[in-house]
């Protein structure tokens, strides 16, 4: 069973429907016990980093997600879920500081630089379709065209943890991960056939 983590800030229904559509059992849960007993885990998310971490901690889901990820079982983060997997985020933090994340993948969540985006005529948040570059994961394919909605981007400490990139003013990590963990800044559940194929490849890891 694939568990979809409900902490009050997720695109839960679309992820659930996508998994059911491709033929995999899934459930939406806010229970740490359910998380730990799952065969696969997806942490979706839409919204702000700080309130999301507070919501996870209030339900005891932060420690459950970290324990599950360290178990070796397939673990996925989507959009804000990917950002939460990193060490910390500038979003909502005092200047020069970070709001603490789950630290599953060491790295930072940073605001798009104004000079390369807004000043260059690009809108922030990035909202729309972009293609994947420098893909180093069997879940994705080079050139996959996928859907993004976000104002902050992820910078992993280890460049090897960037499993795919895209360009929006700057080139940045569209996906991060290592071993059993994969996370996408884009929404595979909203990315048409390419996104569904990614979810199928992830689910096949579960068996």
Give the active site residues. 79, 187, 189
Residue 120: strand pairing partners: none
Residue 72: left if φ>0, alpha if ψ -120 to 50, beta else—which one? left
204: CB partners within 8 A, 6+ apart: none
User: Could you tell me how far CA 128 lies from the centroid of its own chain?
Assistant: 16
Give dist(CA 108, CA 162) in Å, integer: 12
- Is the separation of the CB atoms in 188 and 147 below 8 Å? no
């Amino acid at each position: 069973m694939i568990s979809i983590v409900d902490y009050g800030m997720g695109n839960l229904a679309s992820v659930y429907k996508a998994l059911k559509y491709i033929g995999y059992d899934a459930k939406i849960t806010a229970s740490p016990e359910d998380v730990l007993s799952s065969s696969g885990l997806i942490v979706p998310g839409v919204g702000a980093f700080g309130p999301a971490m507070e919501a996870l901690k209030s339900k005891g889901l932060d420690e459950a997600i970290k324990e599950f990820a360290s178990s070796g079982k397939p673990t996925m983060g989507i959009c804000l879920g990917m950002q939460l997997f990193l060490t910390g985020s500038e979003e909502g933090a005092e200047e020069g500081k970070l709001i603490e994340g789950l630290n599953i993948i060491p790295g930072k969540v940073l605001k798009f630089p104004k000079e390369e985006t807004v000043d260059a005529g690009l809108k922030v948040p990035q909202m729309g379709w972009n293609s994947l570059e420098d893909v180093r994961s069997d879940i994705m394919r080079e050139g996959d065209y996928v859907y993004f909605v976000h104002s902050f981007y992820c910078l992993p400490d280890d460049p090897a943890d960037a499993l795919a990139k895209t360009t929006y003013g700057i080139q940045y990590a569209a996906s991060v991960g290592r071993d059993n963990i994969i996370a996408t800044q884009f929404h595979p559940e909203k990315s048409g056939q390419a996104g569904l194929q990614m979810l199928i490849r992830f689910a096949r890891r579960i068996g």
